[in-house]
């Protein structure tokens, strides 16, 4: 029997589901009456983990973002893991919006997760930051379950995922 148990706290999005959602949103934009004759487009840059929305004006940009967001939600992509930029003026009279995908815990969020566990003073539960994840260890599985419950209650700006439970 193991002397200590552990689990990893990470975050991320399924890039294939994002691709599927973008394809569905593009099809809907092509069929919608309010986008007929417009240059609205959704570009998915998988290597840069980014979505780029372009539309002719703010009204169409808002409608385009609503379509993309609804498709992402339907595909199970956590909207908390999207870093939505401001709408910027692009060439001519068009608007552009960049949305970055958070695929790993940044250092600040990892510190918040570790600090939350340490501040809770759970019995012999320790959290250590390992690159883009936080490893939580304890000698008792019940203490780990309490740590998971504590983290689920907190708001860290991203949707946390718990894995590698052993």
Indicate the DSSP class of residue 32. Answer: -
Interacting residues of 143 by C-beta distance below 8 A, sequence separation 6+: 122, 123, 124, 125
CA gap 146, 166 in Å, rounded: 15
pLDDT at 18: 92
CA dihedral of 111, 114, 117, 121, whole degrees rounded to 10:
-100
pLDDT tens digits for 45-54?
A: 999 999 999 9
Q: Phi and psi (nearest 5°) for 100?
A: -95, 145
Does residue 1 surpass a pLDDT of 80?
no
Q: Phi and psi (nearest 5°) for 116?
A: -60, -40
Residues 79 and 157: beta-carbon distance below 8 Å:
no
CA gap 89, 60 in Å, rounded: 13
CA gap 21, 6 in Å, rounded: 34
Compute the half-sphere exposure of residue 102: CA atoms within 13 Å on the CB side of its CA: 22
pLDDT band at 2 (very low <50, low <70, confident <90, very high): low
Q: Which domains does the chain have, with CATH numbers?
A: 5-11+105-163 (3.30.70.860), 15-101 (3.30.70.990)
Interacting residues of 22 by C-beta distance below 8 A, sequence separation 6+: 42, 44, 51, 68, 71
pLDDT tens digits for 118-144?
A: 888 888 888 888 888 889 999 988 888
Residue pointed to by tokens 């997760």: 113
Residues 54 and 99: beta-carbon distance below 8 Å:
no
Q: What is the pTM of this model?
A: 0.83
Instruction: For the chain, give the percent of residues with pLDDT over 90.
Output: 30
């Amino acid at each position: 029997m193991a002397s200590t148990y552990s689990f990893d706290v990470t975050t991320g999005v399924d890039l294939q589901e994002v691709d599927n959602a973008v394809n569905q949103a593009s099809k809907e934009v092509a069929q919608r009456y309010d986008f007929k004759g417009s240059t609205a487009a959704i570009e998915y840059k998988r290597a840069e983990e980014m979505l780029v929305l372009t539309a002719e004006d703010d009204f169409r940009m808002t409608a385009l973002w609503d379509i993309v967001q609804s498709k992402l939600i339907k595909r199970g992509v956590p909207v908390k893991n999207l870093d939505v930029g401001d709408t910027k003026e692009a060439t001519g009279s068009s608007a552009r919006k960049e949305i970055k995908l958070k695929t790993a815990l940044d250092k600040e969020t990892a510190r918040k997760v570790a600090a939350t566990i340490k501040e809770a003073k759970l019995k012999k539960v320790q959290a250590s930051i390992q690159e883009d994840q936080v490893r939580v260890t304890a000698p008792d599985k019940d203490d780990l379950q309490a740590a998971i419950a504590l983290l689920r209650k907190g708001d860290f700006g991203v949707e946390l995922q718990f894995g590698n439970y052993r």
